[in-house]
Amino acid sequence: MPPDAPAPPAVTVERLVVERGGRTVLRDVSAAVPTGSVTGLLGPSGSGKTTLIRSIVGTQKVKSGTVTVLGEPAGSKRLRSRVAYVTQDASIYPDLSVKSNVAYFASLYGRDRRDAAAAIEAVGMHDHAERLAANLSGGQKTRTSLACALVCDPEVLVLDEPTVGLDPVIREELWAQFHGLASTGRTLLVSSHVMDEADRCDRLLLVREGRFIADDTPAGLRSATGTEDLESAFLHLIRAQDGSR
Ligand SMILES: Nc1ncnc2c1ncn2[C@@H]1O[C@H](COP(=O)(O)OP(=O)(O)O)[C@@H](O)[C@H]1O
Ligand SMILES: [Mg+2]
């Protein structure tokens, strides 16, 4: 590769078809997630966001198509500590402290207490490290989950609706953290069903009824649809899609 060639995409999805419960929920979708950026996966509830995320982390049975992560087939063993997944419901142990939760994940990945402490520090939870997870606020739980994901120093982080139900200040802080991670070369894919998060992403993947209806930057989406706010851009694309059926 020439020295200044752009890095290959961290995630490539090609002609992916997924069926769940006898229904097709991803319908021949293709996209690439660029390395070192924050890509938003946006779409209403039930549109297929979690299914796509599961396909990327390798926990979803796919009918056809391919998903490649860091040059390897999704879910392959070699990706184990290179890809981290924060599920929609914070997956931490309520009866353990923040510190013990993160230390547990560290031990799973052959990391030590120093790595655990660094991950807790990175998400700003060092002042709450001794607290029981059960007693944390929603935002603190999300941060703790993020620390559990960060402890293996992953290159790709996939977060499923991490900011849902959080207050605006905490959301702001989390997005700043996502960008901080991307600025160190990590790749983040962050899903959300609220369009007001769209402007915080470097790139947007808009999903509706199992299809991608846009794969663009926020600015590109505005100019392509001739709209100022991204909510209107989304509506514009939906109408265009419905009109062409
Ligand atoms: N375990 C399942 N069995 C059958 N259908 C499912 C299952 N999980 C999700 N689905 C269906 O797949 C579609 C996409 O769901 P999902 O990927 O969870 O959407 P989102 O994350 O955007 O809300 C929905 O229609 C949902 O009802
Ligand atoms: Mg979901």
What separation in Å is there between the alpha carbon of 205 and the centre of ligand 1?
18
- pTM for the model stands at 0.93
Q: What is the pLDDT along the chain (245 residues), one digit of tens a residue?
A: 566 777 899 999 999 999 999 999 999 999 999 999 999 999 999 999 999 999 999 999 999 999 999 999 999 999 988 999 999 887 899 999 999 999 999 999 899 999 999 999 988 899 999 999 999 998 899 889 999 999 999 999 999 999 887 888 888 888 998 999 999 999 999 999 988 889 999 999 999 999 999 999 999 999 999 998 888 988 898 888 887 77
pLDDT of residue 194: 87
pLDDT of residue 164: 84
Q: Using CA atoms, how far apart are residues 44 and 62, in angstroms rounded to an integer?
A: 22
Atom of ligand 1 nearest to the CA of 88: 21
The CA-based diameter of the chain, rounded to the nearest angstrom, is 57
Atom of ligand 1 nearest to the CA of 207: 22
What separation in Å is there between the alpha carbon of 107 and the centre of ligand 2?
28
Using DSSP, state whether 205 is helix, strand or coil: strand
Q: Is the dihedral of CA 224, 193, 200, 57 positive or negative?
A: negative
Ligand 1 proximity of 3 Cβ (cutoff 6 Å): no
Q: Using CA atoms, how far apart are residues 82 and 126, in angstroms rounded to an integer?
A: 24
Q: Using CA atoms, how far apart are residues 117 and 150, in angstroms rounded to an integer?
A: 11
pLDDT of residue 1: 54
pLDDT of residue 238: 87
Atom of ligand 1 nearest to the CA of 22: 4
Q: Using CA atoms, how far apart are residues 25 and 205, in angstroms rounded to an integer?
A: 16
Q: What's the first-to-final CA gap in the chain, in angstroms?
A: 42
- From 13, 51, 86, mutation site for ligand 1 pocket: most ligand atoms within 8 A of C-beta: 51
Ligand 1 proximity of 87 Cβ (cutoff 6 Å): no
Question: Going edge to edge, which strands form the sheet with 11-20?
Answer: 23-33, 11-20, 64-69, 72-73
Please give the angle made by the CA atoms of 182, 188 and 194, to the nearest 5 degrees: 115
Domains of the chain (ranges; CATH) run 1-75+189-225 (3.40.50.300)
Using DSSP, state whether 196 is helix, strand or coil: helix
User: Phi, psi (5° rounding) for residue 163?
Assistant: -105, 5
Residue closest via CA to ligand 1's atom 9 equals 20
Q: Using CA atoms, how far apart are residues 103 and 193, in angstroms rounded to an integer?
A: 32
Q: In b/e form, how buried is each residue of 204-228, taking b as 16+ CB within 10 angstroms?
A: bbbbbbbebbbbbebeebbeebebe
Ligand 1 proximity of 43 Cβ (cutoff 6 Å): yes
Q: Taking Cα atoms as reference points, which of 98, 201, 199 lies closest to residue 143?
A: 98
Q: Using CA atoms, how far apart are residues 106 and 168, in angstroms rounded to an integer?
A: 30
Q: Say how far residue 118 (Cα) sits from the centre of its chain.
A: 21
What separation in Å is there between the alpha carbon of 49 and the centre of ligand 2?
5
Q: Say how far residue 10 (Cα) sits from the centre of its chain.
A: 12
pLDDT of residue 196: 83
